[in-house]
Amino acid sequence: MKKFFNILLLIVFLSSCEEEKLPELVNPRFSVAYIQEIDENGVTFAANIYDIGKKEILEYGFFYSPKSFDPVNSGEKISSTGQPEGFFELTANYSMVAGREYHVVAFIRTESGLIVSNPQSFISQGSTGFIFEKIELPDHVYYFDTIKIFGKNLTQKIDQIRLRINNSESTIVSLNQEFFEAIVPNTAYEFGGNATFNLTVSEKQLTLILPFSLTEPEFELHADFEQKLSEPLVIKGKYLRNITSPFTDFIQGTNEEFNINATTTDSTITFEPRAIFNSNTPSFKIKIRGKEYVINNSVKLAPKIFEPNQIIQVWPRNKVKIKGSNFNTYGSQFNKLSLDNEAVKFHIYEVTENEMVIDFYSDNFFIDQDLKFTVFSHGELSKNTVQVGISDPRSIYMDLNMDLARKFRSIGNKVYYIDNGQINEIDLNTKSQSIKADIPYEYFPLENPEIFLEHMGSLYFSDSYNSEEGNINNFYKYDPVTNVVTSLPLIQSDPFLQKWVFAYGDYIYLGGGEYIQGPSDFTINYHTYKFNIHSLSWQRIPPSNYPANFGLYTFTHNNEIYGMQGSNPQSNNTSLYKFNLSTNQWVKLKTFETYAIINQSSPNTTIGDKTFISSNDNLYSLDMNSLSLEKVILQGFSYLDSFRQGTVIDNYYYYPLKVNGKMKLVKFNPLK
């Protein structure tokens, strides 16, 4: 070791100690620190004492730091206790890096305070640094426990110590000359009973592979309360914390497993019951801190049951509510039902703890079916069953001799339609069909009249075509008694401007207009037209205030005329009107939320207190008492070419529908 000898009075003269300001015989006087020996293992500092003073010396030693300013607070300390003689020296062997400049001061502490010399600088050649000796762990080490790491050459500055356990940062909580204490971080983990300790003490870094096993989880068994499937399930125990959410496998007694993320605390594992359990005390496979555990009897599930004595009548594909308890609310697929009718299927739409919203349907249309069903409760059928009667409000009444659906109108128990320029009759009593009369035509036989209505035992209908003279709008009457078709005066409205029509008393009312050709363009004059069925004459009256660009579906209820309009799906334009016969004006009664386009200018009537209105893609029921409009679901329903063509006889609605490629007359019973 190289020795440095600092000799003679020059050093004494340059050494300016703070104690010189104090009374000479009170505090000790000593030299600056000087370098006694230095090498790669550390530095031996020394200082001479000139006057021991009158105060008892409690501690003496050196502070050294890479900072020249205030090394007492910024640096490391080596010290000893007791009364030194005329000279003291101590060796520093940690917290120094080779080639770096450091600054050292000598100090003596008395009961009066700390006396410090002026700093002396030196260039370090390195230091031995911290030497690990051992680690002390609790018998059952777990997160947030305190561990002790022992060693030599330990810095006394706690902020100079850093510990990571398997890359998880630990908190240093205490420090002395022999060891420091650290907290096991709650993100630490283990591999095979060992852990990697990355330790930085001052400037020295160590990587140690040390024995480290977290305490095994403990699970509470024999659950003493039933857990609901509308809430997360909880497994209780000790030492359950995990670094990430564990995967939970539900052991079903089959090969099927469900992986579900769970959250953990020290005493709970919580997860959503996203599975169909085959037992009310299911087993679970839990992976905690990399190790897999099979847990039995840790959870007891409350049973799934239906309320008793539920009897439900429903149309196919119409939603109903089934009441019960402990349904799995985390997914309809986690509620398994059993039906005793294989021809019937079901779909669950919504689930709460005590209620299911469900519909039933079948591939077999137009038949009634009864069934009983119950719910599986953790591998076993629940004791309560629900009785469901599926009643299709439609039935096939008879075959029809027609290829396409046509508009139907009825007189008595007979249904009439126009096809290929002929009046056709369906006798509901004999279920027979016949051609009753031919309709005169100019170019093509009439197929589907725009206006087709029944009034006072006769049929009135229109037939329009384009000619050199403009759009011709013919008008006809059919008398079923004489089987004669009579040509009536032309309808004055252009056929493309007709928006609504109905018959009342001695008149047929029509909302339309006429194109008036000008020098370079045309204008439209809107009118309401009245046809007197006795004088067979048309009359123009001022137009209704109803918007002329919207079609109106008209119908009769309690001998009053109503109209439903819905032709703008971009806004709340579905509205109900009532016609005032005194003013010849439509009065708006109510506006509904947006529905699809309703486009039918020929009138219909109500069944009881309800009117059924068909759009391009839906069927609606309008309650004339509450004025509420609801969507009606009919399984396998063809809206565009079927329901809107029908007619009411008594409390039934008859309409054409193509079934399996053949046209049928369908009878709809809304009261079923």
Convert the pLDDT of each residue in 45-67 to its tens digit: 999 999 888 889 999 999 999 99
Share of the chain above pLDDT 70, in %: 89
Average pLDDT over residues 463-488: 92
Q: Are residues 595 and 477 in the same domain?
A: yes
Q: Are residues 657 and 557 in the same domain?
A: yes
Residue 132: pLDDT band (50, 70, 90) is very high
pLDDT surpassing 60 at residue 571: no
Q: Which pLDDT belongs to residue 247? A: 63
Q: Are residues 13 and 140 in the same domain?
A: no
Average pLDDT over residues 335-363: 92
Q: Are residues 361 and 470 in the same domain?
A: no
Residue 19: pLDDT band (50, 70, 90) is very low
Q: Are residues 7 and 115 in the same domain?
A: yes
> What are the backbone angles phi and psi of residue 376, rounded to the nearest 5°?
-75, 130
pLDDT surpassing 80 at residue 594: no
Average pLDDT over residues 422-447: 94
pLDDT surpassing 50 at residue 163: yes
β-sheet bridge partners, residue 206: 199
Q: Are residues 600 and 651 in the same domain?
A: yes
Higher pLDDT, 519 or 459: 459
Residues near 402 by beta carbon (within 8 Å), at least 6 away in sequence: 417, 419, 424, 656, 663
pLDDT surpassing 90 at residue 171: yes
pLDDT surpassing 60 at residue 17: no
User: What is the C-alpha separation between 27 and 34, in angstroms, rounded?
Assistant: 21
Q: Which pLDDT belongs to residue 181? A: 96
Q: Are residues 296 and 325 in the same domain?
A: no
Task: State the average pLDDT for the chain.
Answer: 86
For the entire predicted model, the pTM comes to 0.68
Q: Which pLDDT belongs to residue 608? A: 86
CATH number at residue 65: 2.60.40.10
Q: Are residues 533 and 580 in the same domain?
A: yes
The tokens describing 537, both together, are 């004459």
E strands, 57-100, are 57-65, 76-81, 87-92
pLDDT by residue (tens digit) across 610-633?
888 877 667 788 899 999 988 887
Higher pLDDT, 190 or 641: 190
pLDDT by residue (tens digit) across 646-672?
889 988 999 888 888 889 999 999 888
8 Å CB contact between 631 and 615: no
pLDDT surpassing 60 at residue 363: yes
Residues near 421 by beta carbon (within 8 Å), at least 6 away in sequence: 438, 439, 441, 444, 445, 446, 447
Residue 200: pLDDT band (50, 70, 90) is very high
Question: Could you say which DSSP state residue 20 is in?
Answer: G
User: Which range marks the domain in which residue 79 is found?
Assistant: 2-123
Q: Are residues 427 and 538 in the same domain?
A: yes
Residue 254: pLDDT band (50, 70, 90) is very low
Average pLDDT over residues 576-591: 93
Residue 435: pLDDT band (50, 70, 90) is very high
User: What is the C-alpha separation between 595 and 614, in angstroms, rounded?
Assistant: 11
Residue 259: pLDDT band (50, 70, 90) is low
Q: Which pLDDT belongs to residue 222? A: 66
Q: Which pLDDT belongs to residue 469? A: 77
User: What is the C-alpha separation between 408 and 411, in angstroms, rounded?
Assistant: 10
Q: Are residues 527 and 638 in the same domain?
A: yes
End residue of a domain, out of 279, 301, 323: 301
Average pLDDT over residues 470-494: 95
Q: Which pLDDT belongs to residue 7? A: 33
Highest mean pLDDT among 273-277, 534-538, 636-640 belongs to 534-538
CATH number at residue 459: 2.120.10.80
Total count of domains within the chain: 5
End residue of a domain, out of 163, 178, 211: 211
Residue 253: pLDDT band (50, 70, 90) is very low
Q: Are residues 330 and 360 in the same domain?
A: yes
Closest CA to 407 of 464, 480, 461: 461
Q: Which pLDDT belongs to residue 665? A: 93
End residue of a domain, out of 392, 422, 443: 392
The tokens describing 591, both together, are 């506006």
Question: Which strand ranges, in their side-by-side order, compose the sheet holding 355-362?
Answer: 305-306, 320-325, 355-362, 344-352
Q: Are residues 319 and 293 in the same domain?
A: no
Residues near 564 by beta carbon (within 8 Å), at least 6 away in sequence: 552, 553, 555, 574, 575, 576, 577, 598, 611, 613, 622
Q: Which pLDDT belongs to residue 325? A: 95
pLDDT by residue (tens digit) across 436-472?
999 999 888 998 898 999 999 999 999 998 887 788 9
β-sheet bridge partners, residue 132: 151
pLDDT surpassing 80 at residue 430: yes
pLDDT surpassing 70 at residue 405: yes
What's the length of the chain?
672
